[in-house]
Amino acid sequence: MTIIVLAKAPVPGRVKTRLCPPCDSAQAARLAESALVDTLRTVAATPCDRRVLVLDGAPGPWLPARFEVLPQRGGGLDERLAHAFTDVGTAGLLIGMDTPQVTPARLTASLDALNAPHVDAVLGPSVDGGWWGIGLRVPDPSVFLGVPMSTAHTGAAQLARLHQLGLRTRALPTLQDVDDFDDAIAISRAAPHGRFAATLRLLPRLRARGEAIAVL
């Protein structure tokens, strides 16, 4: 089984812009890089057949060994997801770089769920109404094309599409992903020993909604 990570290279001004403010673009990029590092380390520690990073941008020193790297293709996120599975070409579990608190145990359980009898797909909802992970036994662009992405209803729309295609789908546990600074604080508290939490602690005290907040 394959684990696919869909990610953007952590370039200031191109990643995690919803963290600004209170972050500036350089701080947001540092947090994005730390989230990507935690995610890739977790994938590296998870037993699987292949590890593939489908990347928008160029790899950096944050990339571990034993990862294949493929470029993202397509315009909208639905197209990029469709191409990611098609280009990898095998059954797999896809996650993003927005859940740095994910663990090898969680990913292993997700792979086991996907590999269980009478399961065609798995879907992990996120707190904001989207999803943090999706797995398919057979790559199929129609799973994604035309599904509205990055909305409060994306998770429900994605699940509806899976059902419309007749795919037997198992739900994964719900996770919180990093959309805004409050999410970043909550995830750092949930996973205080990762690079993401350490990076957040190193940032100066920031302001959100006009109030000074202590990071942790």
Q: CA–CA separation, 105 vs 188, rounded Å?
A: 18
- Six token digits for residue 66: 């034993």
User: What's the pLDDT score for residue 11?
Assistant: 96
71-98 in b/e burial notation, b at 16+ Cβ within 10 A? Answer: ebebeebbbbbbbbbeebeebbbbbbbb
Whole-number CA gyration radius for the chain: 17
pLDDT at residue number 76: 95
- 127 to each of 21, 124, 186, 211, how far by Cα in Å? 21, 10, 12, 24
pTM value? 0.93
How many other CB atoms are found less than 10 A from the CB of residue 122? Answer: 25
Give the pLDDT of residue 212. 38
pLDDT for 206: 53
Tens digit of pLDDT at every position of the chain (216 positions): 999 999 999 999 999 999 998 999 999 999 999 999 999 999 999 999 999 999 999 999 999 999 999 999 999 999 999 999 999 999 999 999 999 999 999 999 999 999 999 999 999 999 999 999 999 999 999 999 999 999 999 999 999 999 999 999 999 999 999 999 999 999 999 999 999 999 999 887 554 433 334 445
Cβ neighbors of 82 (< 8 A, separation 6 or more) are 74, 141, 143, 144, 145
- CATH of residue 146's domain is 3.90.550.10
Spatial CA neighbour of 172 closest among 116, 88, 90 = 116
Task: Please report the pLDDT score of residue 203 as a whole number.
Answer: 84
- CB atoms inside a 10 Å sphere around CB 10: 22
Phi, psi of 107 (to 5 degrees): -70, -40
Peptide bond between residue 173 and the one before it cis (omega within 30 degrees of 0): no
Number of domains in the chain: 1
Give the structural domain span for 53.
2-213
